[in-house]
Amino acid sequence: MNQKIIDKHLQAGKIAAEALQYGKSLIKENAKVIAILDQVEAKILELKGEIAFPAQISLNEFAAHSCSDLNDQTILKDQVVKLDVGVHIDGYIADNALTVDLSGKYTDLVNASRDALNNALKIIKPGISLSKIGKVIQETITAAGFAPVKNLSGHGLGHYNIHTRPSVPNYDNGNENILKEGMVIAIEPFVSTGAGMVQESSPATVFTLINESNIRDPITRKILFEIRKYNGLPFAKRWLERKFGTPKTNFALRTLIRNDCITEHAPLFDQRRGIVSQAEHSVIVKDKPIVFTRL
């Protein structure tokens, strides 16, 4: 990895961290979720970054992929709030997340995800196995009395690709593959009071373009042209609704799904409806790792 690429990750990381902390300051009782997401995304653009994926707020038992559509009226009350923010500079990505407990009941749960993240970051270096990272995360979480979410993981960060190899487990899965110098990864512990396994809900409001079949319908073709501008990164239904209206957007998305052009990222919730917390940083793997989403 050359210094030019490192610098772009560092720039993206600084913006992602600032946008995340800005979003945290907006997470208060009676705030509208859609307003927070819009303001976080606006902050990214204001800071001269590009949005790597739609900002997402997942509440209570929902762990990930919750993103407001245009009609979302959700108001924050006493929930456990996960905020996930991604930024890129010329396709070089930074990904970070945090949890805010508005209920005051889950301080230990929030601390467990943050402590698991910090303990994992302490051992990141070339040659460390994925299973050892997972073991440290799992031991931190179980010592606090909670369950790691086993079917969610950290991940590599590729060029215009938010989820690449390696998959970085949140438990000891026996994977003896090792980190290598120059890898860019996101460490992302999820902690649950419930099953520690998530499943899909509906409807999805985040999508990714995966191929471009021969779409003949003029409405869908027009919206597909807009989707191409996201360079293969995830996009929000809300973005399209604001430009094309909800009926046309719904029609186009159905058409694109039917033709296997886009993949859906459905909201994920704990199978036993346990409360979930999350923490995340992005790292460049070196003997002295660069945690580039830390302010």
Read off the amino acid at residue 127.
G
List 61, 95, 115, 241, catalytic entry:
95
List 65, 155, 265, 281, catalytic entry:
155
List 188, 241, 270, 281, catalytic entry:
188
Residue with tokens 């927070």: 36
Query: 280 an active-site residue?
Result: yes
Q: Which residues of 119-137 are buried (b: 16+ CB within 10 A; e: fewer)?
A: bbbeebeeebebbbbbbbb
Closest-CA residue to 169 (of 152, 186, 191, 183): 152
Query: 9 an active-site residue?
Result: no
List 72, 159, 163, 212, catalytic entry:
163
Rounded to whole angstroms, how far apart are CA atoms 110 and 135? 19
Phi, psi of 205 (to 5 degrees): -125, 5
Query: 61 an active-site residue?
Result: no
Give Cα separations from 23 to 48, 96, 277 (angstroms): 17, 12, 16
Query: 46 an active-site residue?
Result: no
CB atoms near residue 2 (< 10 Å): 7
Name the residues annotated as catalytic.
84, 95, 155, 163, 188, 280
